[in-house]
């Protein structure tokens, strides 16, 4: 049981990290479909830096930086040159997959540097809950801290209000004197940092190695989680963990040998997560209030 919960946590963490970043981006009225691309670049940068320097911390920082560089590219294209956000996001994913393969060519087949789990004497030794609560790696705790921080900043601070205003109606925000483009740049960069961090989690903690396409579609799942969680950080977390749980339980049930079709079990995480999030987002008015009205729309300051 303990082992299963630990596995669920590792499966959910990258989804949570990437989805939180995209949530902020979308809250500011921008749709960045390039999560997968930013993630995979984060993964290769994280792996490379950690392998080259031997320091996991440098790996994590490089992962974040890698994701941000990709995000900056997206921001320049969509905010300064007003390119189509959907097309640019898709291109960013393709670019990320290609570029990461190129950067990572020499990393293939190298055993990576692993981000170790923390160990607190006494606390970690508590049976069952000890390792689950006090024996994770730092990025797991970081993902929870990030969830609370995002929620707090978005809904309890002036900064969050500005981000939401920009996403809700950029003309009004502009009329009030806020720099819409600058806010969106910042949000996009934050999203890139989170995606990069999620990627670094894959190549440093989840499976400490570099292989091409190692994100294997996790960026897309994160994207879907944001929408189905109706842009609420806490619901994103529920979604990510629900997805992780059903995902791992599917594998668990298979190994028990009950003979349930594996294709069904593989699709269950998607079905269950979507169903659950649709149900908790059942309140239509609330969903309407939460969904950023300006999503995907370009903004040109009329000066």
Partner 1 sequence: MKMKWTGIAAAAVMASLSLTSAEAIAKTKACFVYVGAVGDFGWTYEHDHGRQMVEKHFGDKVETSFVENIAEGPDSERAITRFARSGCDIIFTTSFGYMEPTLKVAKRFPKVKFEHATGYKTAKNVTTYNAKFHEGRYVIGQIAAKVSKTGVAGYIVSFPIPEVIAGINAFMLGAQSVNPDFKVKIVWVNSWFDPGKEADAAKVLLSQGADILTQHTDSAAPIQIAEKQGKHAFGQASDQSKFGPNAQLTAIIDSWGPYYIRRVQAVMDGTWKTQSSWDGMKEGTVSMAPMKNMPADVADAAMKTIAGIKDGSIHPFTGPITKQDGTVVGEAGKPLADGEILGMKWYVKGIDDKLQK
Residue by residue, DSSP assigns 123-181 as TTTSTTHHHHHHSS-HHHHHHHHHHHHHHHHHHHSHHHHHHHHHHH-HHHHHHTT--HH
Choose which of 84, 157, 213, 283 interacts with partner 1 (CB under 8 A): 213
Asked if residue 266 binds partner 1 (CB under 8 A), the reply is: yes
Does 128 interact with partner 1 (rule: CB under 8 A)? Answer: no
Question: Which position among 57, 120, 129, 216 is part of the footprint of partner 1 (CB under 8 A)?
Answer: 216
Q: Residue 108 or residue 293: which is nearer to partner 1 going by CB? A: 108
Asked if 206 touches partner 1 (CB under 8 A), the answer is yes
First to last CA, the chain: 61
Please choose, from the candidates 12, 71, 85, 83, the residue with its C-alpha nearest in 3D space to the C-alpha of residue 37: 71
Should residue 184 be labelled a site residue for partner 1 when binding is judged by CB under 8 A?
A: no
By the rule CB under 8 A, 254 interacts with partner 1: yes
Interface segment toward partner 1; rule CB under 8 A; list 72-80, 119-127, 204-212, 232-240: 204-212
- Cα–Cα distance for residue pair 228/236, rounded to 1 Å: 8
**C-beta of residue 223 within 8 angstroms of C-beta of residue 60:** no
CA 124 to CA 130: how far, in whole Å? 4
Name the residue nearer to partner 1 (CB basis): 172 or 267.
267
193, 64 contact by CB (below 8 A): yes
Smallest distance from partner 1 to CB 71, Å: 20
For the CB of residue 187, give the shortest distance to partner 1 in the complex, in Å.
Answer: 27
The answer to whether residue 276 forms part of the interface with partner 1 (CB under 8 A) is no
| Residue of 212, 220, 274, 287 interacting with partner 1 (CB under 8 A) | 212
Residue 29 in the binding site for partner 1 (CB under 8 A)? no
Does residue number 151 form part of the binding site for partner 1 (CB under 8 A)?
Answer: no
Q: Rule CB under 8 A: choose which of 45, 68, 77, 97 binds partner 1.
A: 97
Query: Among 54, 98, 282, 301, which residue interacts with partner 1 (rule: CB under 8 A)?
Result: 98
Contacting residues for 127 by C-beta, under 8 A, at least 6 apart: none
Under 8 Å CB-to-CB from 265, ≥6 apart: which residues?
Answer: 250, 251, 253, 254
12 in contact with partner 1 (CB under 8 A): no
Query: Are residues 243 and 217 in contact, defined by beta-carbon separation less than 8 angstroms?
Result: no
Interaction pattern, residues 55-94, with partner 1; x per rule: CB under 8 A? ---------------------------------------x
The verdict on 278 binding partner 1 (CB under 8 A) reads no
Nearer to partner 1, 60 or 180 (CB): 60
SS3 content of the chain, % helix, strand, coil (to 5): 75, 0, 25
What radius of gyration do the chain's Cα atoms show?
19
Cα separation of 139 and 236, whole Å?
Answer: 17
Q: Does 169 bind partner 1 (CB under 8 A)?
A: no
Contact 167, 293 (CB under 8 A): yes
Q: Which residues bind partner 1 (CB under 8 A)?
A: 3-4, 6-7, 10-11, 14, 94, 97-98, 101, 104-105, 108-111, 114, 202, 206-209, 211-214, 216, 218, 247-248, 251-252, 254-257, 259, 261-263, 266
């Amino acid at each position: 049981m303990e082992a299963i919960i630990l596995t669920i946590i590792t499966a959910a963490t990258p989804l949570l990290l990437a989805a939180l970043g995209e949530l902020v981006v979308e809250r500011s009225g921008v749709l960045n479909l390039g999560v997968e691309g930013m993630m995979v670049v984060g993964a290769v940068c994280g792996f490379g830096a950690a392998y080259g320097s031997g320091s996991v911390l440098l790996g994590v920082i490089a992962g974040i930086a890698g994701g941000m560089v990709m995000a900056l590219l997206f921001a320049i294209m969509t905010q300064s040159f007003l390119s189509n956000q959907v097309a640019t996001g898709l291109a960013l994913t393709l670019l990320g997959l290609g570029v990461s393969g190129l950067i990572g060519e020499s990393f293939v087949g190298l055993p990576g540097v692993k981000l170790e789990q923390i160990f607190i004497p006494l606390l970690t030794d508590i049976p069952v809950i000890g390792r689950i609560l006090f024996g994770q790696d730092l990025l797991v705790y970081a993902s929870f801290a990030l969830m609370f921080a995002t929620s707090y900043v978005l809904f309890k601070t002036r900064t969050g209000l500005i981000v939401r205003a920009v996403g809700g109606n950029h003309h009004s925000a502009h009329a009030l004197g806020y720099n819409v483009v600058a806010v969106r740049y910042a949000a996009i960069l934050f999203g890139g940092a989170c995606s990069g961090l999620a990627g670094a989690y894959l190549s440093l903690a989840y499976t400490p190695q570099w292989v091409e396409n190692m994100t294997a579609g996790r960026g897309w799942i994160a994207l879907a989680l944001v929408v189905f969680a109706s842009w609420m950080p806490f619901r994103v977390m529920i979604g990510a963990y629900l997805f992780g749980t059903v995902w791992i339980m599917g594998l668990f049930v298979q190994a028990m040998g009950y003979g349930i079709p594996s294709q069904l079990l593989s699709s269950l995480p998607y079905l269950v997560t979507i169903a659950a999030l649709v149900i908790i987002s059942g309140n239509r008015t609330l969903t309407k209030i939460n969904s950023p009205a300006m999503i995907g729309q370009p903004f040109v300051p009329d000066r």
